[in-house]
Amino acid sequence: MRFTDKVCLVTGGTSGIGRATCVRLGAEGATVVALGRDPADGAETVDIITKNGGKAIFLACDLADSQAIADTVHEVITKYHRVDVLVCDAAMMTFEPLADLPLEKWDTLMLVNLRSLAQLTQLCLPHMPKGSAIVAISSVHAHQTTAGVVPYATSKGAMEAFVRGMSRELDFRKTRINAVAPGAVDTPMLWNNPNVKNGNETIDKATVGKPEELAAAIAFMASHEASFIHGTTLTVDGGRLAQL
Q: How far apart are CA 27 and CA 205, in angstroms?
A: 28
Q: Can you tell me whether residue 88 is helix, strand or coil?
A: strand
80 as an active site residue: the answer is no
Which among 169, 160, 167, 168 is positioned nearest to 233, based on CA atoms?
A: 160
Q: How far apart are CA 24 and CA 212, in angstroms?
A: 8
Q: How far apart are CA 182 and CA 164, in angstroms?
A: 18
The catalytic residue among 143, 152, 175, 223 is: 152
For 28-67, give one letter per residue: b (16+ CB within 10 A) or e: bbbbbbbbbeeeebbebbbebbeeeebebbbbebbbbeee
Q: How far apart are CA 27 and CA 23, in angstroms?
A: 6
As beta bridge partners, residue 136 has: 88, 179
Catalytic residues: 152
